[in-house]
Amino acid sequence: MKRHDFWQGLVAAAAVVGLFGGFGTVAQAKSTAKTVTFGQLTNHNTHRLAAIRQAARQQILTQTHAKSRRVAAVYQVKLPHHMTKKATLTANGVKMNLLANSFKVKSITIPYTQLRGKILNRYIPKADRTKAVKGKVVALTFDDGPDPTLTPKLLKILKKNHVHATFFEVGQSVSRYPKISRAVLAGGNELGNHSWNHPDFNSIGTAKTVNQVMRTNRDIYAATGQLPQYVRPPYGNITAAEGRAIEQPIIRWSVDSRDWSYLNKQKDINSVMRATRNGSIVLMHDIHAPSVAAVPTIIHKLKAKGYHFVTVSQLYNNQALPGLQYFGAGDYRVAGR
């Protein structure tokens, strides 16, 4: 795994798949409708096109006020796979026409704010573009929740310290404690998919892996009204075929606290502080009391070293794309590799 200086690494990595394509362009999306191809929108980047499909599914559900039982159906809607297909730039977002579908929707308009990092910046109004974070940054992530006692306690700690984190939740726990999942988002944090019941994806095959992810997407949507953007595979294991089939960015980590093995507050603190670097993604769990107890000290010590805490989306400036897996700033590869 390569290690880079944060900004040099991010720019170098982004260049490979054209993530910064068009960022130097100052032209603002026009209020008058304009027809463009998906190739133009994405700089012919298939990962970006997959990200547009991901945003389109959320928009279909939102636009139709769909119940959670319809989540599986939205993945059956035929969405663009070819760069020559056309869309329309409008004042409110990118409009695309749909083929006949069970939602009976003829077209959708995806807001520009939902397409940050997915289409080239030249097609996004300046006011809707994101700005890359500056300085030393670290993303705290927590797996295996929500826990009815520990997750609310952790949320209070984060709020008190003005820190936002990314939570990768297990579907069966989300179905039991949906209010806690809503509280995660209400606190300004991110919520990702960590499978339905934590199997090793490599051992169950692509079809069952997709089912694990879809069931969890459904329950997160039922709890929050939002499909999770990211997936973190249990144990970090995922095949290339599974990565393609899921069509969501895969978020791994660069700092493994091993809190699940220590179950010791001080060891957790020492482990994180020893390994954290600029642009790190830190893996912890909000189902272990010592882990949650270690968080205030970890935050205090990292702030003292000049770190700012960001969500995964902020770390990547909203440019994490389906089909790729991310380990830390400037360190990513095709899923399954």
* Active-site annotation, residues: 143, 285
Yes or no: say if 263 and 288 are a contact pair by the CB < 8 Å rule. yes
User: Which residues, 6 or more positions from 282, have their beta carbon under 8 angstroms from its beta carbon?
Assistant: 138, 139, 140, 141, 253, 254, 255, 257, 272, 276
96-102, long-range: CB within 8 Å, 24+ apart, which pairs? 96/56, 98/60, 101/76, 101/77, 102/73, 102/76, 102/77
As a three-state string, the secondary structure of 148-196 is CCHHHHHHHHHHHCCCCCEEEECHHHHHHCHHHHHHHHHCCCEEEECCC
Task: Report which of 297, 259, 257 is spatially closest to residue 280, judged by C-alpha positions.
Answer: 257
Report the distance separating Cα 117 and Cα 42, nearest Å: 10
